[in-house]
Structures are given as structure tokens and as C-alpha cells.
Amino acid sequence: MIIDLPSTTTSQLNKKLVELRERGGAVALGRVLTLVIAAEDDDQLEEAIDAANEASREHPSRVIVVAKGSRTAAPRIDGQIRVGGDAGASEVIVLRLYGPLAIQGQSAVVPLLLPDAPIVTWWPGGGPKAPAKDQLGQLAQRRITDSAAERNPIRALTARSRSYTDGDTDLAWTRLTNWRAQLVSALDLPPFDRITGASVTGEADSPSTELLAGWLAEYLKVPVKRVKTSSAQGIVSVAMERRSGTIELTRPDGRTGTLTQPNQPTRRIALQRRDTRDCLIEELRRLDPDEVYEAALNGLGKLSTRRKAGTGTKSTGTRSAAAKKTATKSKA
């Protein structure tokens, strides 16, 4: 059910919500969190709401969408309440904010927050440089940005690594989980040799690739090379060197990974790129600070970069640990 409340106030919205609950049975009870979606009022808005609705099947939540409309219009809130079939297992409140209100979103959101339940703010498109300082970010225990959705992903990631505050997280990091899981389990197997070096290959403006390299650099405490390629999307391959040989995980087609380890048969793994819904579900699963993400951001500063020709051929370049430059100056 979709109920439109044009040119409304938050108290009217609240009243309507209570009324809906009384009429239709317990709607808002049992919600575990409030998810605030901060976005522009454009085509991508509905996609984000859909992803949130899907995620609500695992995390019942109240979704408050703050859609910023024209800044030059007269100040006005157009409200919309969606419940039942139109809202997955959640209830969605869409607030279209116009004029000066557009940048004062928190004033409209606060009265609609669920009591006591944790708050998560998600910027599905462009987000603030310092999420924790943003007005909508300040409300939340957890702030989800998506560097890959920015116009300049790497610059956004760098800015966020500088302003990192506990509770920040980024979907570029979430997209990595499967890669990281495979790499971790690869190291669980013999031979138990120390890793001496590593390199990560991926698209030049793929923030996930940067983070993966940063994570490896931070945890392996070895020089990690960031190789840039334009032959495929996202992360393409990771290699970890050991005395006994190199462990390599490559995904040239964005779907299937191949894991090669010395003295072991080559293994193929389904490693498709994850959709937003998947990532959001994973994000909402935990609301405490992600120390590992913080460490990976730290690692960004320890990378050495090397640009590679736009072909899909394998990198055989010299692996010099001395060439430590920050990966972040790329694409500038």
C-alpha cells in the first residue's frame, strides 16, 4: 500500500503511521533498526529502496528515505508511506525535501526514528567526504557509503580514509568479503610459509581493489603492489608470494575465480560480483565498529603502484619493494 502525503509535516506522517498500525495490525513492532537512505531524488532512488526492502527480509527495519529535490523550490516536504507488499518486510517513509529543507534532512528524520533501535545511514550514490560529520551521519551508529558510486571513486575513498570514524563502512569493502574469505582459507592450508610479497591487479578506479591491497599490506606486513589494468572490471587478480611458490587467485571475467597454489590442483570458485542487496544485508548484520576495515584503510598508504598496459596479459614486471608510493595519487 502506498499513501501519498503531499506537502506534509513529520507529525502528520507520524500520526498516519500510528493510524495505519491501529487499522492494519502491528506494523512497526519488531523492527530491529532504522535505515536512513540519503540520496538525490533521481532514477537510482527506487533501486536503492528496492535493495533496502530486500534486505529488510533479513533485518526488519523502518526505512526512511531522504530524497533531496530541487534546492531552488519553496521549502516543502512531500511524504509517502509504503507498507505491506510495497515495502518488503519493512515500512518505507519517503521524504522528498525541497528548497532550503533539502540540506536540513535530519530535522525531518529525527521525529520519525524508531525508539531505541539502532540507526544506519546509507548513501547509495554520492556521499559526504566525512560521513561522521554529516548531519545525517551524526544520527547514526553506522554509516554506509559507496565509493564505487562516486564520480571519482579513489579520491572519495582517500578522503574517507582520512576522516575515518568508528562506525564508518563502505560497500567497496563489503564487495570484497568473498575474495578475502578465499584468500584467508588458502593460507589455512600447508605449506605454512611466510608471505614475502603480494600484488593486487584491478581497474584503476576500483576502490575495492585498493582496499584489498591495503588490507593485504596491513596484515601481511609486506610490500604490496597495486597493478592497474583496464582489461576487466573491478578486481582481477591477487598474488601472494612465498618461498614455496605463489598463491594466485584470478577472476578475469567477473564471475569465476581460479585459485592456483603450488603442488595443488587448480581450483575454480564461483566469485561473481555481488549486488547491492547482498552487500547491504551483510552490512546490516553487524553494527559495531569494523576494525578490520579501519586497518585496510590504514594499509592504503603502504601500497606501491604500477600502471600496466591495457591488455589482459599477466604482470611480470620487477617487484621492487622500494617503490613505495601512495596508491592514492593515481587518477589525479
C-alpha cell of residue 23: 487499522
User: How far is residue 260's CA from residue 266's CA, in Å, rounded to a whole number?
Assistant: 5
Q: How far is the CB of 154 from another protein (least distance, A)?
A: 22
Q: Is 307 in the site for another protein (CB under 8 A)?
A: no
Contact residue for another protein among 57, 162, 325, 331 (CB under 8 A): 57
The H-or-E segment that residue 304 falls in is strand 303-307
The H-or-E segment that residue 225 falls in is strand 224-229
Q: Is 23 in the site for another protein (CB under 8 A)?
A: no
Q: Is 51 in the site for another protein (CB under 8 A)?
A: no
Q: How far is the CB of 28 from another protein (least distance, A)?
A: 12
| Footprint (CB under 8 A) of another protein, residues 229-268 | 255-257, 259, 264-265, 267-268
Q: Across the strands, what pairs with 203?
A: 229
Within 13 Å of residue 327, how many CA atoms lie on the same side as its CB?
40
Quick one: 57 or 133, whose CB is closer to another protein?
57
How far is CA 163 from each of CA 125, 168, 292, 328, rounded to the nearest angstrom? Answer: 19, 9, 16, 15
110 and 119 in contact (C-beta within 8 Å)? no
Burial of 277 (0-12, 13-18, 19+ CB in 10 A): middle
Quick one: 135 or 182, whose CB is closer to another protein?
182
Longest Cα–Cα distance in the chain: 70
Q: How far is the CB of 122 from another protein (least distance, A)?
A: 17
Quick one: 217 or 327, whose CB is closer to another protein?
217
Residue 18, Ramachandran bin (φ over 0: left; ψ between -120 and 50: alpha; else beta) = alpha
Size of the site for another protein (CB under 8 A): 48
Q: How far is the CB of 57 from another protein (least distance, A)?
A: 5
As a whole number of Å, the end-to-end CA separation of the chain is 47
Q: Is 116 in the site for another protein (CB under 8 A)?
A: no
**Residues 169-208 as x/- pattern, contact with another protein by CB under 8 A:** -----x--xx-xxxxxx-xxxx-x--x-------------
Picking from 77, 81, 79, the residue whose alpha carbon sits closest to that of residue 97 is: 77
Q: Is 58 in the site for another protein (CB under 8 A)?
A: yes
Which residues here bind another protein, judged by CB under 8 A? Answer: 26, 29-30, 56-60, 88-89, 174, 177-178, 180-185, 187-190, 192, 195, 216, 219-221, 255-257, 259, 264-265, 267-272, 281-282, 286, 290-292, 295
